[in-house]
A and B are shown apart, each in its own frame.
Chain A
Amino acid sequence: MVAKDFNLGGKIALVAGDSKYWSKYAGVALAEAGADVAFVARNAKRIEEAAGEVSRCGQKTLTVPTDMTDAAQVQKMVDQVMAEFGRIDILVNANELLLAKPFLETSESEWRRMLDVNLNSVFHCCQAVGKQMIKQEKGRVINLISCLAERGVANFAAYCAAMGGVLQLTRVLDIEWTRHGITVNAIGTGWMSETEKTGAPQEELILKYIPVKRYGNPEEMGSLLVYLASDATDFFTGQFLYVDGAVMSHL
């Protein structure tokens, strides 16, 4: 039941991200809407699983194990995707390396690693794929980040800084690339079931705190992703949209 404008049939998506969950859900959502999907991450096993799900949707898929903190590897990966599919219509950046500890205990190497994986990978992918999208005069870039791009939580300095960096990159690229028919948007997830449900005692407290009184489902992120990837959103760029059950709205 995909409205015509939201149909991604014939489109090529590149899902680039070292995220335990999001790259798979993002890729499956895009595949269900008709896109062929290439997966890129360091963990080859994880993206092969994700590719398997896409194949079950009947879409073409490809996995390219890549360390996205390395610009040369990213360029090689993009060349390989181009050789296979001939174009890239949709780039989804979905990195989520977590680290939570008091700021003063965060080491130099941890800080650098957090920014490398969560922020610099996005820089490399946007550079390599952006060049191609500009040639195509069309493209969609969607950065999957967290509501913590805009709010602070204690013990999350490196993560918040990296996510905030991706958000601001989103807001710059949309202006630089809008004249090339490329839209750049970000999705901020709140408390989602796959990533946050831990059975820990604070779970009840968190539920009480979320206005809709439940965690979000990854599929609910997927539907927004498909919308932003579709031709329905040519005039829609530079936005940061939350899938958060109104956590970001309440006081």
Chain B
Amino acid sequence: MATGNGTLAGKVAIITGGGTGLGKMTALHMAREGADIVVAARRVGAIEQTAKEVREIGPRALAIPTDVKDSQQVNSMVERTLAEMGGLDILVNNAGIVRGQERKPLWEITDEEWHLGINTNLTGAFHCSRAVIKHFIDQGHGKIINIASGNGMRGQRGDFMYGTAKAGVINFTRILATTFAQENIQVNCIAPGFIDVTQLQPEPATRTMFRNPQFIPVGRFGVPEDIGHLALFLASDASGYITGGLFANDGGGLAGGVSPTGYAPVIAMEED
């Protein structure tokens, strides 16, 4: 049984990369509010597990193995969604790749590595958005939520493909939003901060990133629910006039960032 308020009752949502991490948590979050969920990602075991958990909550679920880098797979995933779910209201472009993108000197990055990073993190969102947009226009409404990153707004050392692609996702959001603003399609972007998803990963993930929350103004890492709530808001009718927005959900991280501790030592006002 859904335990929420039925905010998304009767809606169908595709969540790419929904087998693990934030995607999975967002899928379950939307399911609890009544949305039927299509989980599209590469790992069959993971997406079937998410689908199973959605069904346990109550709504219908479909696990469609999809590599978002491959536009044919994306197109048939969307067709199958429309055929089997009978509609589509929400697309969450969440699929991304961080691991497997080892930091290395720029001159050692191969063409394949560059294309893998850009195609997964940016082109995948293009493939999926293109595949759903006509349906959204025809039905007169639709929601697209792109998951970007603070790395798309600032430059993290050595983070070439991910940071570049995520910056692209942020502006892709704005272009989609303005292009389809009059079609009642809202397109928004979430930039999660350091969200601890390690407990959601099927394989052991490095926790080194999650050692030291002192640089985050709120003093803790994010939890997947932090993103789920925001995705739910952006998927719901409550955000009908909000489009082209960039929502940093990062514990205040991007608001600071000029001082290592976030604090200035106390200085008395001194005039001479």
Interface residues of chain A, those whose CB is within 8 Å of chain B, are 18, 42-43, 46, 97-102, 110, 113-114, 117, 147-148, 151-156, 190, 200, 202, 205-206, 208-209, 211, 244, 246-251
Query: For A98, what are the chain B residues with a Cβ–Cβ distance below 8 Å?
Result: 267, 269-270
Stretch at the interface among B16-24, B35-43, B132-140, B255-263: B255-263
Rounded to whole angstroms, the CA-CA distance of A102 and B256 in the bound complex is: 16
User: Which 4 A-B pairs rank lowest in CB-CB distance, beginning with the nearest?
Assistant: A209-B260, A100-B267, A100-B264, A99-B269
Distance to closest chain A CB from B210 (angstroms): 15
Interface residues of chain B, those whose CB is within 8 Å of chain A, are 150-151, 154-157, 217, 252-253, 255-272
Rounded to whole angstroms, the CA-CA distance of A100 and B262 in the bound complex is: 13
Residue of A43, A154, A251 near B272 (CB, 8 A) is A43
Distance to closest chain B CB from A167 (angstroms): 14
Contact A155 B261 (CB under 8 A): no
Please report whether the interface of chain A is mostly helix, strand, loop or mixed according to DSSP: loop
Rounded to whole angstroms, the CA-CA distance of A97 and B155 in the bound complex is: 31
Distance to closest chain B CB from A138 (angstroms): 34
11 residue pairs bridging A and B, Cβ less than 8 Å apart: A43-B272, A98-B270, A101-B267, A114-B269, A151-B257, A154-B262, A202-B265, A247-B258, A249-B155, A251-B156, A251-B253
B250, closest chain A residue (CB): A251
Distance to closest chain A CB from B272 (angstroms): 6
Contact A206 B260 (CB under 8 A): yes
Contact B261 A205 (CB under 8 A): yes
Contact B265 A200 (CB under 8 A): yes
Q: Knowing A148-B258, A151-B255, A206-B260 touch, does A251 contact B265 (C-beta < 8 A)?
A: no
Query: For B154, what are the chain A residues with a Cβ–Cβ distance below 8 Å?
Result: 249-251
Distance to closest chain B CB from A19 (angstroms): 12
B269, closest chain A residue (CB): A99
Q: Knowing A154-B264, A190-B258, A205-B260 touch, does A251 contact B155 (C-beta < 8 A)?
A: yes
Rounded to whole angstroms, the CA-CA distance of A211 and B263 in the bound complex is: 19
Query: For B257, what are the chain A residues with a Cβ–Cβ distance below 8 Å?
Result: 151, 247-248, 250-251
Distance to closest chain B CB from A171 (angstroms): 19
Contact B260 A251 (CB under 8 A): no
Identify 19 new A-B residue pairs, CB closer than 8 A, beyond the known A200-B265, A250-B156: A18-B271, A43-B272, A97-B269, A99-B267, A101-B266, A102-B266, A110-B269, A114-B269, A152-B255, A153-B256, A153-B263, A154-B262, A154-B263, A205-B260, A244-B258, A248-B257, A248-B258, A249-B155, A251-B154
Contact A250 B256 (CB under 8 A): no
Rounded to whole angstroms, the CA-CA distance of A117 and B255 in the bound complex is: 25
Residue of B253, B264, B269, B272 near A113 (CB, 8 A) is B269
Query: For A156, what are the chain B residues with a Cβ–Cβ distance below 8 Å?
Result: 264
Q: Knowing A151-B255, A251-B156 touch, does A208 contact B260 (C-beta < 8 A)?
A: yes
Query: For B263, what are the chain A residues with a Cβ–Cβ distance below 8 Å?
Result: 153-155
Distance to closest chain A CB from B1 (angstroms): 41
B151, closest chain A residue (CB): A251
Distance to closest chain A CB from B60 (angstroms): 39
Query: For A246, what are the chain B residues with a Cβ–Cβ distance below 8 Å?
Result: 155
Contact A153 B269 (CB under 8 A): no
Distance to closest chain B CB from A119 (angstroms): 15
Rounded to whole angstroms, the CA-CA distance of A147 and B255 in the bound complex is: 12
Rounded to whole angstroms, the CA-CA distance of A180 and B17 in the bound complex is: 53
Query: For B155, what are the chain A residues with a Cβ–Cβ distance below 8 Å?
Result: 246, 249-251
Query: For B270, what are the chain A residues with a Cβ–Cβ distance below 8 Å?
Result: 98
Residue of B150, B255, B267, B271 near A251 (CB, 8 A) is B150
B255, closest chain A residue (CB): A152
Rounded to whole angstroms, the CA-CA distance of A152 and B157 in the bound complex is: 22
Rounded to whole angstroms, the CA-CA distance of A101 and B264 in the bound complex is: 8
Rounded to whole angstroms, the CA-CA distance of A43 and B156 in the bound complex is: 43
B252, closest chain A residue (CB): A152
Rounded to whole angstroms, the CA-CA distance of A140 and B253 in the bound complex is: 35
Rounded to whole angstroms, the CA-CA distance of A43 and B272 in the bound complex is: 7
Rounded to whole angstroms, the CA-CA distance of A110 and B269 in the bound complex is: 8
Query: For A97, what are the chain B residues with a Cβ–Cβ distance below 8 Å?
Result: 269, 271
With most chain A CB atoms within 10 A of its CB, the pick from B156, B217, B258, B270 is: B258
Query: For B269, what are the chain A residues with a Cβ–Cβ distance below 8 Å?
Result: 97-99, 110, 113-114
Query: For B157, what are the chain A residues with a Cβ–Cβ distance below 8 Å?
Result: 211, 250
Query: For A200, what are the chain B residues with a Cβ–Cβ distance below 8 Å?
Result: 265
Rounded to whole angstroms, the CA-CA distance of A249 and B156 in the bound complex is: 8
B257, closest chain A residue (CB): A151
Query: For A152, what are the chain B residues with a Cβ–Cβ distance below 8 Å?
Result: 252, 255-256
Residue of A46, A99, A205, A209 near B268 (CB, 8 A) is A99
